[in-house]
Chain A
Amino acid sequence: MTKMTGVQILFQALQEEGVTTIFGYPGGAVLDIYNELPKTDIKHILVRHEQGAVHAADAYARASGGVGVCLVTSGPGATNTVTGIASAYMDSVPVVVLTGQVPRHLIGNDAFQEVDIVGITRPCTKHNYLVTDIKDIARIIKEAFHIARSGRPGPVLIDLPKDLMTMTAEYKPLKAVSLRSYRPTYNPNLKQLDKVIKLIKSARKPMILAGGGVLLSKGSDALTAFAKKTNMPVAATLMGLGVFPTKSRLWLGMIGMHGTYRANMSSGECDLLIAIGVRFDDRVTGKIDVFAKKATIVHVDIDPTSIQKNVPVAIPVVGDCRITLELLNELLDKEDPATIHRQRRAWLDQIEEWKNTKPLAYEQKDEIKPQYVIEKLYELTKGDAIITTEVGQNQMWTAQYYNFDRPNCFITSGGLGVMGFGLPAAIGAQLARPDKLVVDIAGDGSIQMNIQEMATAVQYGLPIKVAILNNQYLGMVRQWQEMFYDKRYSHTDMQFAPDFVKLAEAYGAVGLRAVKPEEVEPVLKEGLFNKKTVIMDFQVEREEKVYPMVPAGAPITDMLLV
C-alpha cells in the first residue's frame, strides 16, 4: 500500500467522486492544497470573492446535474461562503465546500484566521465535518458527496486543518458508503398511492403543484405524463419552473405572491391538490390557514420534514418525486381513462376563463418596460438558454415572462433570495454547459453585489451575458414602499451607480446600452451573438412594478392585478 500526503489523499478522493472543476480562492490555510492542485487534472476557477465560489458551484451543480465543489481558506474565506451555503441549503443543491482550517494544535486558541466554521454552518448545511485524523479524509470525502447528492440534496462542508495536509498515511480507496443513521426513502408506500388514485377518480377540480423536487429527481417527463393521463392542470413554484411544457392547455403558470391569476385562483378553488416536491413556502401559500381550503392535499416529498410542516396534509407520501410519479402512472394505466377524466370540463373551462380575462400583462409605451426586455430575450433565444437571475423584481419578471418550458434552464436563489447570485451562477452554469447560451438577468442593485466576478468571467473567456434591468432603484423594496409604506423611498434610490458600459469595458468585457424601446432588440441581438462576456444595460421605466401581487400575509387568491 502506498503512503500519500493528506492533500494527495484529498485529491485522489475528489477525483474518485468525478470532480473535474473546483471554484475557489487561495489563502494561508490552504496553501498546501493549492500547491498540489496544479499537479492534478482538476480545473480550478479563481473567483474574486468566496461567496461567488459557492454560487458558481451551486449553479454548476444545477446545470450539470452533478455536485458543485468549492475550496476556500480558513477564517474570512470560510465565513464568506456562508450566504452561498445557506442559499444552496434552502434550494436543495448538492454542493461540497472545502474550507481550510488552522493546524489542529491551534484550534480553539483564536489563532490568525481561525473561525469555527463547522459551528457556524451547522444549521445551514445538510451535514458538516471537521477532519481531525488523516485516516478519515478519504471516508469523509466519500460520505460528503454521498450525503450531498442523495435524498433531498444539500450542501456539505468539510473543514480541513492545515497540518493534516502534509502528514502522510496509507490510502485505501473506499467502495461504498454505509451510514447506519442516514438512509433516505426513495420508494413510496404503495398503499398511499392507491389512496391518491382513488382521490383522483373522485375529484372534480384537481390540480398539481410541482416544485423544485421534481426537477431534482429528474421527474419532469413523469410529471408531464401524469398530468396528461389525469387531465389535471399544473402550477409550479418558482423553483419548479421548467418542469412542465408551458404551451400545454393544462399549464397554469407560477403560483404565489407574484403568480398568475389562474394558478392562484385554482389553488383556492381546487378540491384536490397534489403537491409534488414543494415545501409550501410562505411566498407560495400566502395566508396559510386559508390556503387551498377546499382541497384534500396530497403531498409527495423525499424529505419527511417538509410534509405537515406548514400545511395539514391528508395523504403524505414520502418518496422520490420521479419514482412516485412513475408508480402513479403505472397504476393509472390499469384504470379506465374515462373514470379518471370524468367531469373535468367545467373546471378546465373555468381555468381558461381566468387565463383569458386576467392574463399577465404590461403595456410597452415610451420607456423600456423590463417585461418587454425579457419577452424579447425569450423570442431571440427561443427558450434555449440557461437563465440565471439576481433577486427582486428582475427575478420575478423573469419567472413571469421568460417562458420556461424545459427543465434545468432556470437557476435562481429561490429560498434564501440572495442578491448577487446571478453573475457567479452564470459563471458556474457556463462552465457546466459550455454549449449553452447563459444569461444573467439582473437588477442594477443586485448586480453590484458580486460585480467583481466579471473579472472571473473575462479571465476564463466565458461568454456569459448580463442583462441589467436598470431602474436606478432597489426596485422590489421600492415597490413595497410605494404600496405599503406611503411612498417613503427610504434608501432605495440608487441613481448613484457606475456607468455599466464603461464598467464592462474596464473588466475587458463588452458593454452595450439601450435607452429606447426600439433599441432593445438590436442590443440584445448584438449582445447575445457576441462571443465575449457582455453587459447589456437596459434603462427601464423606473417605477414599473411586478404584478400581479399578493400583499404579504394575505390569501393568495386576493391578488392586486395592476
Chain B
Amino acid sequence: MNSDKVEKHILSLMVENQPGVLARIAGLFSGRGFNIESLCVAETIDPDVSRITLVTVGDLAVTEQIKKQLNKLVNVIKVFDFTDTPHVHREMALLKIHARPETRAEILRMVDIFRSRVVDVGADYYTVEVTGDEDKITAFLNLLKPMGIKEIARTGAIALAREKTKGGQNGKN
C-alpha cells in the first residue's frame, strides 16, 4: 500500500447546524496542523443539519487521523470521504474579465465553449459564471488570463455521492 502518497480528499460532513461548529472544525485543522484547501458550508433540507464540503490534502495516515478527529467532535454527525467512492463534485467561480473591443468576441467564444454564462456586463468588463470540477475551472481561468482578469471569487468544491441504482453513471464525473 502506498501510504506515504499525498492525496487530495473531498470530505463531506453532516454537522449539527449550531453556532460554533465551524469554529470547532477550523480550530481542529489549525490546532493539529492539517490543511484545508477549500471549505463550503450550507444548510441541508433538514434545517438542523448543515453539510460541510471540505477539501484537504495529506498522506493516508494524516487523512485517516483527520477523519477520526472530525468524527470525534460532538457536533459532527457523519463524515464521508468521497475519494474512493463514485461521486459528483462541482465548483463555481465568478470572474470579472477586462473586455476590450478586440477581446470581447473571444471571451464570449470561451464562455460558450465552457458552457458558462455572462451574468453582468459593464463598459469594460464581463462578469462570467462558470461551474465544473476544479480542472475545468482552472483551464478556463488559464485561457482567460491573457485577456486580463480583474477579480475572481471561487466557491470551493461541493460534492454528493452517486447512488447505486440502475441507470446511474457510476464512476463518471
Contacts and interface: CB of A to CB of B under 8 A. Distances in A.
A355 to B, nearest CB: 36
Contacts of B71: 304
B77 interface: yes
Contacts of A126: 74
A181 B68 contact: no
A207 interface: no
A312 B72 CA distance: 20
30 contacts: A119-B20, A122-B20, A122-B24, A122-B27, A123-B27, A123-B28, A123-B31, A126-B74, A127-B74, A130-B19, A130-B20, A147-B74, A179-B74, A180-B77, A181-B15, A181-B16, A181-B75, A181-B76, A181-B77, A181-B78, A182-B74, A303-B72, A304-B68, A304-B72, A305-B68, A305-B69, A305-B72, A308-B61, A308-B65, A309-B65
A130 B78 CA distance: 23
A261 B16 CA distance: 49
A303 B64 CA distance: 14
A303 B71 CA distance: 11
B123 interface: no
B23 interface: yes
A294 B27 CA distance: 37
A118 interface: yes
Contact of B64 (A122, A127, A182, A308): A308
Interface in B79-135: none
Contacts of A119: 20, 23
Given A181-B15, A181-B78, A312-B61, 4 more contacts: A119-B23, A179-B74, A182-B74, A308-B61
Contacts of A180: 77
Contacts of B65: 305, 308-309
Interface in A96-149: 118-119, 122-123, 126-127, 130, 147
Contacts of B24: 122
A127 B16 CA distance: 14
A126 B19 CA distance: 17
Interface of chain B, main secondary structure: helix
A159 B61 CA distance: 36
B96 to A, nearest CB: 34
Contacts of A303: 72
B74 A181 contact: yes
A181 B75 CA distance: 6
Highest count of chain A CB atoms <10 Å: which of B15, B20, B27, B78: B20
A102 to B, nearest CB: 17
Interface string A179-216: 11110000000000000000000000000000000000
Nearest to A309: B65
B74 A118 contact: no
Interface residues of B, number: 21
A508 B2 CA distance: 66
Contacts of B15: 181
Interface in B31-68: 31, 61, 64-65, 68
A215 B109 CA distance: 70
Nearest 4 pairs of A and B residues by beta carbon: A181-B77, A305-B68, A127-B74, A304-B68
B159 to A, nearest CB: 21
Nearest to B61: A308
A181 B72 CA distance: 9
Contacts of B68: 304-305
Nearest to A303: B72
Contacts of B76: 181
Nearest to B20: A118
B72 A122 contact: no
A374 B68 CA distance: 42
Highest count of chain B CB atoms <10 Å: which of A130, A181, A312: A181
Contact of B23 (A122, A127, A308): A122
Interface string B122-157: 000000000000000000000000000000000000
A123 B28 CA distance: 7
A308 B69 CA distance: 12
Contacts of A179: 74
A308 to B, nearest CB: 6
A95 to B, nearest CB: 16
Contacts of B31: 123
A179 B73 CA distance: 12
A145 to B, nearest CB: 13
A303 B65 CA distance: 12
A499 to B, nearest CB: 43
A515 B19 CA distance: 59
Contacts of A147: 74
A181 B16 CA distance: 8
A150 to B, nearest CB: 11
A342 B24 CA distance: 50
Nearest to A118: B20
A126 B72 CA distance: 9
A181 to B, nearest CB: 4
Nearest to A119: B23
B49 to A, nearest CB: 9
A308 B78 CA distance: 20
Nearest to B48: A180
A306 B28 CA distance: 15
A188 to B, nearest CB: 16
Contacts of A181: 15-16, 74-78
Contacts of A130: 19-20
Contacts of B75: 181
A180 B65 CA distance: 22
A305 B72 CA distance: 8
Contacts of B77: 180-181
Nearest to A306: B68
Nearest to A127: B74
A303 B72 CA distance: 8
Contacts of A305: 65, 68-69, 72
Nearest to B26: A122
A485 to B, nearest CB: 28
Interface string B1-27: 000000000000001100110011001
A195 B49 CA distance: 39
A60 B93 CA distance: 56
Nearest to B78: A181
B107 to A, nearest CB: 45
A122 B32 CA distance: 13
Interface string A290-306: 00000000000001110
Interface string A141-185: 000000100000000000000000000000000000001111000
Highest count of chain A CB atoms <10 Å: which of B16, B24, B27, B68: B68
Contacts of B27: 122-123
